[in-house]
Structure 1
Amino acid sequence: MKTTLLAATCSFALEAATPDYLVLIPEGIFKGIDGRPFDAPHWNLTPERGKQIVAALNQRSIDMVMDYEHATLEAQKTGEPAPASGWLKAGGFQYIEGVGICSAKFTWTDKAAGFIGSEEYKYLSPVFFYSKAGDVQHLLHVALTNTPNLDTLPEARLAAAAQDFFAQNSQQQDSTMEELLEQLRWMLNLPLSATAEEITAELEKLKTQIKEKTGVAVAANSQTLYDALNAIDQLKIAANSSTAVDPTQFVPMAVYQEAVAKAGNADAAMKTKEMDDLITAACSDGRLTGEATISWYKDQAKTNPDFVKTQLESLPKIAALTQQQTSQVNLAANSQQTPAVDAVQNEVFGLLGVSKEDADKYGA
């Protein structure tokens, strides 16, 4: 929400001797020598606002000029020179309780120091902004003057000065805001085209997730993201402390790895023996013959045992190679002997009235 600010000059008497600090705007309620402000009940500088103004002034990287009779503001219109009477050093602003906004680091030019010493210049006149309620908002400019009345600086010049100040300040705020939005887009993993409204919506989602997972409701002037992080740490501690470790259920890693290796070696040895037995059986029943063929199957068994097993099962057995030579000789000899006539044959011969001798002589 924008606030309408007014610009004013006010004057304070300078001491002939240079003090340790210059009082730029006094603390509390005050008015100008001519009774102003006429558009507010008074001017008022609170300690809280004074400290904020000082903090903003100390962010300046250059010194603030003190001129004569606000010539710097007039020079914007007339183009006439605006020589400095002194300088308020950057970083030298401070708020003194009970006194107001001061400068402890300032210098006068030799010419201005002579004017002050001889009382040719007697008043210090700040230009500041204030609200409609009279609350001082910011210090813009300081000058030496001998006519401590607002009439010496036309209202139009004050308005122009205020407009220039707020235009510069607005540009700085816009640049700062864009940097902040860029940081938020990066943190939330949003595209560069994400608008402020989209960033806000994503932040609301994040707040909801934080509350669901940690029980912490992130809100202004209440719990922050750091509270959520602390809650996460507490959850981790609780989880670790509630889990009791049973040493009997665990073994050293070296022991586990040794057991795995032994189991793997035993399994490999078992498979090797199985293939050796299959190949030996195939050699015995005639499925495998020839040293070259047997060696090829043994090599295949090392890398592809399932293939070898399937192949051996599909090979035909050779009957002639399944018997010993002595067994073959005995079978040939037995084939030449006269087979014995069993009891059934004798019974059949009796029914037919044929003797065994006749059957042998004349044939069945």
Structure 2
Amino acid sequence: MSQRTAHRTTRIAACSAIAAAVAIAACTFQLPGKADLPEGSVLLQLTPAGEFRPNDGRELEPGSWRIDAASAQGVIQRFKARGKPAVIDYEHQTLHKEKNGLPAPAAGFMRDLRWVDGQGLFAVADLTARARDLIAAGEYLYFSPVFEYDEKTGTVRAICMGALTNDPGISGMQPLSLVAAASAAFLPQPPQEPSVNPLLKALLAALGLPDNTTEDAAITALKDLGPLNKLKARDTAALTALQLGADATAETVIAACTSLRTAQAAAPDPAKYVPIESVTALQGQIAALTARQLDADLEAQIKPALADGRLLPALEGWARDLGKKDMAALTAYLGAAKPIAALTGTQTGGKPPVATATGDQQLSAEELAVCSAMGISPEAYRKAGASIATGAAA
């Protein structure tokens, strides 16, 4: 595995050990060439100001790393809170030692962090004599900081450590120089109150920014006004729809929306409910249709039964009442009844009855029906009747 490949693998492994929303980046910056280095502390640039990107092909979700004066103060405070200096080693061996088992000697230590407007974040560092000799001999040309950053925004969050390396990692970074920490030309001067004209101060206040906001931060805020204007237009449309004035407070808007939701919840859904008058009329129509259908069904059952003798005329009223209550029972009764032939025709075939030789009258239709039901002939019925009459006379 090449030196660069091993270096990137270590950075990826280090990233996986950090919380999900935080990543670690190791980047390199050029050191001075063969030159005498001053004794004592040196000032090492850790990051440039604003946005900066890797040049080793890695893809960043936010597109670039970034740091400004405001976020740098958070980095500096976290560095001070750790309570111990950050190590500077060779080729990030501190990150590799668990895998390769080799020692990770220190090349120096970062004692403090400083922000320099327009230049970026710097470390006040002490280098070992060996590290100074290697740099002076040209064996190391770059300094590589290792820092945590937010994976979603790319904002630098904390400085972890650094290394002397020959694997550059930042695109477009100017060569850095090691200078004495006591050199006032490179150290940040005591903060002074910036001079801000009233118009710019009012503009920053309207954007919700402090007076000491950097130019880059102010420009970024102005670019964000597009979505803000869209939100204002949406707010105006909402106020108009709710019939509220432009001076309506948030509480008033919330109350109006709550009232509207309550009214909508109380109103019946026309897709689920119909007027009671329509339901009543429909019920009446259904009842009338049902009655007509029942009458038609009764006629279809009773009329043929009367015609073929399965139902006597005297039982018609009873049959109709039964059918209205239980059509199935009426149907079953008429289905089991036997037709009475005497009720479907006449024994004389439509001819007038002929008197018998004995002078007796012909039987009536009812008597003929009885004969048919009992299976006896009219003569036998007459004889039986005569015998009954003789017995009664005796």
**Larger relative helix fraction:** 1
What TM-score, normalized by structure 1, do the two folds share?
0.37
What TM-score, normalized by structure 2, do the two folds share?
0.35
Indicate the structure whose relative CO is greater, using CA pairs within 8 Å and at least 6 residues apart: 2
